[in-house]
Amino acid sequence: MIYLDYAATTPMGPEALHVYRDVSGNYYGNANSLHTRGTDAADVLHAALSTLSKSMGDASVTITRSGSEANEHAIHRFLSANQFQGHILTCRTEHPSIRDYLRSLDEQYPTLHVENVPVDPYGNIHPRDVETRIKPDTILATFAHVQHEIGTIRDIRAIGTVLARADVPFHSDCVQSYGKIHIPMQEAGLSAISTAAHKIHGPKGLGAVFFSKMVEPNNGLPSGTADVAAIAAFAEAANVQMGQEARTHIDALRAKMAEQLPVDFQVLGEIAPEKQSPYILGLLLPEMEGQEAMLACDREGIAIATGSACRSGDDQPSETLLALGHSPDTARTFVRLSFGHETSFAEIEEAAMQLTNIRSRRAKDAQR
């Protein structure tokens, strides 16, 4: 199968898999136990946490069970510190884990008020739109670094500068940028970022929140026995992936796919390379629903997506596409292709040809 859904998840890398097997076989003790097996496991655990911390400039790290849980954990920490009272800035194009969590808190706490900052047709958030919405009681702003469906890279440095002037904590969902695109944590004044191991060829079931040095240290683990092997594999995956932040191959893959598709396939996101993640290509298909295209591609041995995997099976149009100004019918024509370092140019050519053929067959069927 030609796999073009790396934004949903990635296969475990050989280096991470080797570490996982090694630690599982040789350092299987409970890291909380005081005997040698336990302290050996604890040493491996602390080394892995240190590696993860260094990947973001010695930020304190809290391990979670997923990227979605990392988002919730970070947001909860800032809101609970303010007794769930105050004003929160976000936008409609955030990941469902953030949108849904904030919506539930907004309903649960009358003392909280969530406000959505508008996005432009490319998915950008303009600093001026953030600045004009800051209030005396704004207690948190949360904006993703890379938009998870169309791949727009937000200018979090400029947004962070505006928030810092008003002393507003800034959280960013960096699940689609960690290990792929440089995250300017200090330059942007970020208070916290969220990540997920399985997006960078690490194991599933692990996420992390990195807190800046300006936030009280909170190195932590989920309750229960720590999965030392998985956390060590996460750290190894981060180590490997950080060395692959050079985007030349991925840039070329995305460009080739875009140029080989029919001209009436509308490419979403930014045109300027510095504002667009090359790992993600969002498309609107002419007169064809994304779900139909995804199933047709699957029959041809090609894996693509119709949006966030966390909302698979949801027949509602993408909230992101609606926020960008598209109608519900147009939003349903959306598909997302996403690439990894393993993706080859031959696979890109085959996938582009199959998408073109699927569209042609669909057009002929519609004429009958």
Active site (catalytic) residues: 310
Helix, strand, or coil (residue 25): helix
* β 334-338/280-284 pair status: antiparallel
Complete DSSP assignment for 312-331: TT--SPPHHHHHTT--HHHH
State whether the Cα torsion 40-45-46-47 is positive or negative. positive
Residue 208 token pair: 């992390």
CA distances from 204 to 170, 199, 209, 244 (A): 26, 9, 16, 20
Annotate 116-148 with b (16+ C-beta within 10 A) or e (fewer): bbebeebbbbbbebbbeebeeebbbbbbbbbbb
- Residue the block writes with tokens 């966030």: 308
- Residue the block writes with tokens 């290509």: 281
CA distance 235 to 239: 6
Containing 78, the helix (H) or strand (E) segment is helix 67-81
The residue type found at 291 is: Q
**DSSP label of 31:** T
Number of residues assigned to the chain: 368
CA distance 196 to 232: 14
Contact (Cβ atoms closer than 8 angstroms) between residue 168 and residue 159: no
